[in-house]
């Protein structure tokens, strides 16, 4: 029985009241005196040289204060943070060429949005249209148009992972399965379009309020692009209405807002429209995955050969990282004695793809889990039993990449089978009804040991006051996932105070400690949580010394902070209130404040992450054989996220992941034609709504992670990956049709059913 006060308890989010009442301020809600409104002119062609840009008529329009093009901005490329500097290939405004429909060409600042939009119509751009490539095969073909001159073959990045003898393993296998899978481009579909507001002071220093997941990264890159020192740029993250990976980069409007603010001496705001977000915004990478897997006849995995081509669009964005991660996830979940991965990030003239929730895992695991299900059928082994026989366990390694420090994957499989009544339902063959299985693993904080930074991976500062309150300062970015709440829980538990006694200031690069790299890779709870614990323990050590002085004690190891008190364990008479202890400490130090500073940087933990989450999911579906429509009736999810710090938050993450997984599996797709997005509105880009959500059960297997705060690890991204393969497997169980190219649309299901029926009739004719 846990004696924790707030850890493990159902705690509503700290920002729930502000969001429910509408008082939460997002970037587009902000306004400053004299503020100008910015708009971006975008390319109408997918690939073209820019011969001339005439902005004279736009500059002459009354109310227009400035118009800029790529010629006005410093010629500094950016992209993909500092992870792989050689892959930085973007200018904020196009220089020389445009590479996709929507590429930013010019920016306007005017007294209002209407005037800015009118000014865009007055800008004249003379293009020389160039041949374009809209898919990976066309782009890699001999004689294909060169999208970036420094990359003649249009393959911007290759990634490799290899261990064991794959060829020998495949030769020795009793059964080898080879398949090709394709995955579509989808949008993050966050409810808040990207927005930013920049202000310049009289020294040319910039303050930027922006809807971002990575304020420190934006600070570094913006300073680099503008030729400023890092601390001459201040980035503040307001409330963010969802990001899912789509708000983790420096973007052209951030650069243009800052540059125009310096140029005009006035604040400048840019806010994207929904059409801009869907038609030109970052998206999940479309991929083609070729996978060959070898098994022994008893189901034991022997070797895996995994080749992936990513459609990166016109620029690298976060593609180089995605090209590595998809190979990492391809080696997860199961013990592969031999594994070979080749990843190719390919330029095309489509809008650029970037990071999106799961970041390579949804694609890799759709292929891997679908193959496990197909192999189970061919081998005559139950799909869950096949997984249990090959499941990773604590201590397993991906050589030179990762070590599994905690793992309850087998337990997840056993529990999801029990809860879903898997064996009975799988054995039943009801026309149109089916059950399917999908599994997942995900990183808990990207480490990426090639990242060059002078700061720790996360940092926290805690200030304690004599009135019994504390102030937490952190660069960790809450973008709707509830990390502010969890960090306050951790601090409240450590200091033995109430959460209402904690004030938090987050994600302001001028105020909060340097070093947190933002919200991505499900890193915040583990990394920022560990930094908070270290800072809190420094506070406790100081207060325990005060208690020792007060009661003339010789040791401090039997003391605790609990119930608002600093006290000797099991001796309530030997204690004082938290605020009194702080006051005593301040007095003893002549007024010096009581401050704890904590940092966390993983060490000796492999190339990728300190630890991984695991889980399993079963989908129940009903397929209408007349229309091909698939209805998901119930989802069972069992999750290994270590110690559950806040059950309410975990449930919300799992349910949100299922919603995203449903869209990815069944309906969401950015439909393209010659580089143009055809469904750039929520009327045409279909996402599942509340009424589409199935009933569900989600439970956690709590195996504490030694490296996580209170034993916690990730829950924000892993559960987005199993839904598509589970639904695909359930559709096969219901109809006999196996989908290898997402999404699983009614048209594909009907076509598959008809082909199966036609094949059955032909077989019957032959038998007669």
Does residue 400 form part of some domain?
yes
**Residue 173 to residues 177, 332, 369, 618, 661, Cα–Cα distance (Å):** 10, 20, 19, 29, 33
Q: For the domain that residue 226 is a member of, what is the CATH number? A: 3.90.1170.50
Tens-place pLDDT, residues 70-81: 999 999 999 876
- Beta strand 48-54 with 124-129: parallel, antiparallel or unpaired? antiparallel
Cα–Cα distance measured from residue 504 to residue 470, given in angstroms and rounded to the nearest whole number: 9
* Window from 555-559, 649-653, 745-749 with minimum mean pLDDT: 555-559
Tell me if the pTM is above 0.85.
Answer: yes
Task: Label residue 742 exposed, middle or buried (CB < 10 Å: 0-12, 13-18, 19+).
Answer: buried
676 with 658, same domain?
A: yes
Q: Tell me what the mean pLDDT of segment 346-373 comes to.
A: 98
**What does the pLDDT read at residue 218?**
96
Question: Per residue in 140-187, pLDDT tens?
Answer: 999 999 999 999 999 999 999 999 999 999 999 999 999 999 999 999
Give the per-residue pLDDT at 452. 54
State the average pLDDT over residues 628-632: 97
Query: What's the alpha-carbon Rg for the chain, to the nearest Å?
Result: 27
Q: Are residues 120 and 218 both part of a single domain?
A: yes
Average pLDDT (503-522) is 92
Report residue 475 CA to chain centroid gap. 17
- CA–CA distance from 244 to each of 148, 201, 359 (Å)? 28, 33, 10
CA–CA separation, 441 vs 409, rounded Å? 9
Percent of the chain with pLDDT over 70: 97
Residues 441 and 476 in one domain: no
Distances (CA, A) of 190 to 682, 687, 715: 11, 11, 19
Checking if the pLDDT of 599 tops 50, the result is yes
Cβ atoms of 249 and 353 within 8 Å: the answer is: no
- Stretch 668-679: mean pLDDT: 98
Residues 76 and 208 in one domain: yes
Spell out the residues 6+ positions from residue 143 whose beta carbon is closer than 8 angstroms to its own: none
Q: CB neighbours (10 Å) of residue 473?
A: 20
Please tell me the predicted confidence (pLDDT) of residue 571. Answer: 85
Determine, yes or no, domain membership for 721: yes
Q: Of 600, 634, 658, which one is at a domain's C-terminal end?
A: 600
CA distance 275 to 328: 34
Whose CA is closest to 183, among 743, 746, 763, 744?
A: 743
Q: How far is CA 621 from the centre of its chain?
A: 27
pLDDT of residue 767: 65
| CATH code at position 693 | 3.30.365.10
Question: What is the b/e burial string over 517-549, where b = at least 16 CB atoms within 10 angstroms of the residue's CB?
Answer: bbbbbbbbbbbbbbbbbbbbbebbebbbbbbee
Q: What DSSP string runs through 296-320?
A: -TTS-EEEEEEEEEEEEETS-TTHH
Question: Which tens digits make up the pLDDT trace of 476-500?
Answer: 999 999 999 999 999 999 999 999 9
Q: If you ran DSSP here, which 8-state letter would residue 143 be given?
A: T
- 146 lies in a domain? no
Q: Kindly write down the DSSP assignment for every residue of 246-270, as one continuous string.
A: TTSS--HHHHHHHHHHHHHSS-EEE
> In this structure, are 483 and 579 located in the same domain?
yes
142 inside domain: no
1: pLDDT strictly greater than 60:
no
* Closest CA relative to residue 653, chosen from 263, 239, 445, 358: 358
Boundary (domain end) residue, out of 578, 600, 622: 600
User: Contact, 362 vs 284, CB < 8 A?
Assistant: yes
Q: Would strands 124-129 and 458-464 be described as parallel, antiparallel, or unpaired?
A: unpaired
Where does the pLDDT of residue 766 fall: very low under 50, low under 70, confident under 90, or very high at 90 and above? low
441 and 566 together in one domain:
no
DSSP letter assigned to residue 557: T
The overall average pLDDT reported for the chain is 95
| pLDDT tens profile 713-723 | 999 999 999 99
Domain co-membership, 502 together with 633: no
| Choice between 602 and 27, residue whose per-residue pLDDT is larger | 27
DSSP 712: B
Identify whether residues 667 and 705 lie together within a single domain.
yes
Per-residue pLDDT band at 605 (split at 50, 70, 90): low
Which one of 539, 570, 600 terminates a domain? 600
Q: Domain check: are 542 and 612 in the same one?
A: no
453 has pLDDT over 70: no
β pairing state of 301-313 and 287-295: antiparallel
Residue 150: inside a domain: no
Rounded Cα–Cα distance for residues 559 and 13 (Å): 30
**pLDDT of 300-355, one tens digit each?**
999 999 999 999 999 999 999 999 999 999 999 999 999 999 999 999 999 999 99
pLDDT value, residue 431: 84
Q: How many CB atoms lie within 10 A of CB 379?
A: 18
Residue 704 lies in a domain: yes
pLDDT of residue 450: 45
Q: Which domain holds residue 107?
A: 31-130+191-242+247-280
Is residue 593 located within the same domain as residue 726?
A: no
CB 278 within 8 A of CB 680: yes
pLDDT at 570 over 90: no
134-169 CB burial, b ≥16 within 10 A, e <16: bbbebbbeeebbbbeeebeebbbbebebebbebeeb
Q: Strands 502-506, 470-474: parallel, antiparallel or unpaired by DSSP?
A: parallel
Confidence category of residue 83, pLDDT binned at 50, 70, 90:
low
Sequence-ordered list of residues with C-beta below 8 angstroms from that of 3, at least 6 positions apart, any chain: none
* Cα dist from 673 to 406, 668, 693, 751, whole Å: 46, 16, 31, 23
**Cβ atoms of residues 116 and 106 within 8 Å:** no
Asked if 397 and 404 count as a contact pair (C-beta separation under 8 A), the reply is yes
Residues in the chain: 768
Looking only at the bridges linking them, the beta strands covering 559-562 and 502-506 are: unpaired
Tell me, yes or no, whether 530 lies in a domain: yes
* Together in a domain, 595 and 632: no
Count Cβ atoms below 10 Å from residue 70 Cβ, excluding itself: 18
Give the dihedral of Cα atoms 469, 474, 476, 477; nearest 10 deg. 70
356 contact partners, CB below 8 Å, separation of at least 6: 186, 188, 244, 245, 246, 282, 283, 284, 285
Residue 238: which region, alpha, beta or left (left: phi > 0; alpha: psi -120 to 50)? beta
239-248, 443-452, 568-577: which has the minimum mean pLDDT? 443-452
Residue 10: exposure state from Cβ atoms within 10 A (0-12, 13-18, ≥19): exposed
Count of the separate structural domains present in the chain: 3
- Nearest of 555, 630, 676 to residue 132 by alpha carbon: 676
- Residue 761: per-residue pLDDT: 80
State the Cα–Cα distance between residues 566 and 579, nearest whole angstrom. Answer: 9
**Nearest in space to 714 (alpha carbons), one of 655, 639, 661:** 639
Question: Does residue 650 sit in the same domain as residue 519?
Answer: no
Mean pLDDT value across residues 510-518? 90
More confident call, 454 vs 644: 644
Question: Which helix (H) or strand (E) segment is 639 a member of?
Answer: strand 630-640
- Indicate whether 407 belongs to any domain: yes
């Amino acid at each position: 029985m846990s004696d924790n006060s707030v850890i493990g308890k159902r705690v509503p989010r700290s920002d729930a009241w502000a969001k429910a009442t509408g008082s939460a301020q997002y970037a587009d809600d902000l306004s400053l005196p004299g503020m100008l409104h910015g708009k971006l002119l975008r390319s109408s062609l997918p690939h073209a040289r820019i011969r001339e840009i005439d902005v004279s008529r736009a500059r002459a329009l009354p109310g227009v204060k400035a118009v800029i093009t790529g010629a006005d901005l410093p010629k500094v490329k950016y992209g993909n943070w500092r992870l792989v500097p050689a892959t930085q290939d973007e200018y904020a405004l196009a220089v020389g060429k445009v590479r996709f429909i929507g590429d930013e060409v010019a920016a306007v600042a005017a007294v209002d949005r209407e005037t800015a939009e009118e000014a865009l119509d007055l800008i004249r751009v003379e293009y020389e249209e160039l041949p374009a490539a809209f898919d990976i095969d066309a782009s890699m073909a001999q004689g294909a148009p060169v999208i970036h001159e420094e990359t003649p073959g249009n393959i911007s990045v290759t990634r490799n992972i290899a261990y064991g003898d794959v060829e020998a393993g495949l030769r020795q296998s009793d059964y080898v399965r080879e398949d090709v899978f394709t995955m579509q481009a989808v949008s993050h579909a966050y409810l808040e379009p990207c927005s930013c507001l920049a202000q310049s002071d009289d020294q040319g220093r910039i303050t930027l309020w922006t809807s971002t997941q990575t304020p420190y990264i934006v600070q570094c890159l913006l300073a680099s692009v503008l030729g400023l020192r890092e601390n001459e740029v201040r980035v503040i993250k307001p409330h963010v209405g969802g990001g899912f990976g789509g708000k983790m980069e420096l973007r052209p409007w951030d650069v243009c807002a800052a540059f125009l603010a310096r140029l005009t001496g006035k604040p400048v705001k840019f806010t994207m429209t929904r059409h801009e977000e869907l038609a030109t915004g970052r998206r999940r990478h479309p991929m083609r995955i070729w996978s060959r897997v070898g098994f022994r006849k008893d189901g034991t995995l022997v070797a895996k050969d995994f080749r992936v081509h990513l459609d990166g669009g016109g620029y690298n964005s976060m593609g180089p990282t995605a090209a590595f991660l998809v190979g990492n996830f391809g080696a997860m979940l199961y013990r592969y004695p031999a594994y070979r991965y080749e990843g190719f990030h390919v330029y095309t003239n489509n809008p650029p793809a970037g990071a999106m929730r799961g970041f390579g895992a949804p694609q890799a695991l759709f292929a891997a889990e679908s193959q496990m299900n197909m192999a189970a059928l061919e081998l005559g082994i139950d799909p869950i039993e096949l997984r249990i026989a090959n499941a990773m366990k604590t201590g397993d390694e991906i050589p030179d990449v990762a070590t599994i420090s905690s793992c309850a994957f087998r337990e997840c499989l056993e529990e999801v089978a029990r809860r879903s009544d898997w064996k009975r339902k799988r054995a039943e063959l009801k026309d149109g009804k089916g059950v399917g299985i999908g599994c997942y693993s995900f990183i808990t904080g990207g480490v990426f040991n090639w990242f060059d930074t002078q700061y720790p991976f996360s940092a926290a500062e805690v200030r304690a006051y004599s009135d019994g309150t504390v102030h937490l300062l952190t660069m960790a970015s809450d973008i709707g996932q509830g990390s502010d709440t969890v960090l306050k829980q951790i601090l409240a538990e450590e200091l033995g105070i109430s959460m209402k006694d904690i004030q938090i200031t987050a994600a302001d690069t001028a105020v909060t400690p340097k070093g947190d790299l933002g919200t991505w890779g499900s890193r915040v709870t583990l990394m920022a949580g560990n930094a908070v614990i270290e800072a809190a323990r420094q506070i406790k050590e100081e207060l325990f010394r005060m208690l020792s002085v007060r009661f003339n004690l010789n040791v401090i190891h039997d003391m605790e902070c609990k119930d608002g008190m600093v006290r000797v364990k099991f001796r309530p008479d030997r204690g004082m209130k938290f605020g009194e202890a702080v006051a005593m400490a301040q007095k003893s130090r002549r007024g010096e404040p009581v401050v704890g500073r904590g940092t966390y940087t993983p060490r000796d933990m492999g190339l990728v992450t300190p630890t991984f989450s695991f889980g399993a999911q079963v989908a129940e579906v009903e397929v209408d054989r007349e229309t091909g429509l698939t209805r998901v009736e119930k989802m069972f999810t069992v999750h290994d996220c270590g110690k559950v710090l806040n059950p309410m938050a975990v449930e919300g993450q799992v349910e949100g992941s299922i919603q995203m997984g449903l869209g990815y599996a069944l309906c969401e797709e950015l439909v393209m034609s010659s580089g143009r997005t055809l469904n750039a509105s929520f009327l045409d880009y279909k996402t599942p709504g509340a009424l589409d959500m199935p009933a569900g059960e989600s439970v956690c297997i709590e195996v504490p992670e030694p490296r996580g705060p209170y034993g916690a690890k990730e829950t924000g991204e892993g559960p987005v990956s199993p839904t598509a393969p589970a639904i695909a497997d359930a559709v096969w169980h219901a109809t006999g049709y196996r989908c290898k190219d997402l999404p699983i649309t009614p048209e594909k299901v009907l076509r598959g059913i008809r082909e199966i029926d036609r094949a059955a009739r032909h077989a019957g004719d032959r038998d007669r």
